[in-house]
Amino acid sequence: MAARLKGKVAFVTAAGQGIGRAIAETFAAQGAKVIATDLDDKKLSGLDVAKKASLDVRSTPAVDAMAKQVEKEFGSLDILVNCAGFVHHGTVLECSEQDWDFSFDLNVKSMHRTIHAFVPGMLNKGHGSIVNIASGASSIRGIPNRYVYGASKAAVVGLTKAVAADFIKKGLRCNAIAPGTIESPSLDDRIATLARNTGQSQEVVRQAFIDRQAMGRLGTAQEVANLALFLASDEASYVTGQVHLVDGGFAL
């Protein structure tokens, strides 16, 4: 199936690498006009999309200004994908108030900002699909050393369901994707940090991530993007308010 998003306008945050980049590339390949954003716009190099821009999703003025600019250039969105996030490692004992505030600001409030900015245009258009990246570490499953991360991603699940319920009769759908452990530059950075902090080799730390996956391997960003494509497309027109796992059995 080709051109599944032909003519649709899609906005993707954290599109510079990992899941966000795979989604931006997949959507563009399927005919969407993609606006790809990242805090570090240099990471967007090489993306073949309609627009690339730097965006700090922790700044309400920046998000609001971007929404106005996108509306002026492309019209109202058809698709919004919220990928920005941060994985804090540790229990409640290793979570300072600053860690908590940063995690919730980036993992949850950033989604509030983009949804608040773009939903009015979607409602005027009469349709739209929002896809939020949650996690298997959330209300789905508790895992060690993911205290504030799991709490923030559980909040993403609640946010997703609330948005879906509020606009279910107005043509707007909102779903969440809960990935398992995905091969990405972010994971590489976390493995390197954990190896330094524990005195283990990176190979040992990486194998520990693999060993906790039921399939015995890590997932790929493309596997997440494939699910995002379905949820963003008209094929999922009867799907809203749900958490969709792409986790290799992580939640079993």
DSSP 160-199: HHHHHHHTTTTTEEEEEEEE-SB-SHHHHHHHHHHHHHHT
DSSP annotation of 10? E
Q: CB of 112 within 8 A of CB of 172?
A: no
Alpha helices in 17-134 (DSSP H): 18-29, 60-74, 97-104, 110-125
Phi, psi of 150, deg, nearest 5: -60, -40
Q: How far is CA 60 from CA 68, 73, 109, 128, in A?
A: 12, 20, 9, 22
- CA-to-CA dists, residue 87 to 119, 137, 169, 174, 189, angstroms: 27, 10, 34, 23, 11
Q: Residue 20: phi, psi to the nearest 5?
A: -60, -40
CA dist 34 and 104 (Å) reads 26
State how far the Cα of 136 lies from the Cα of 249, in Å rounded to an integer.
10
Between CA 222 and CA 232 the distance in angstroms is 15
Between CA 190 and CA 184 the distance in angstroms is 10
211 neighbors 112 (Cβ within 8 angstroms):
no
> Among this protein's residues, is 149 annotated catalytic?
yes
**Per annotation, catalytic residue among 27, 118, 147, 149:** 149
Catalytic residues: 149
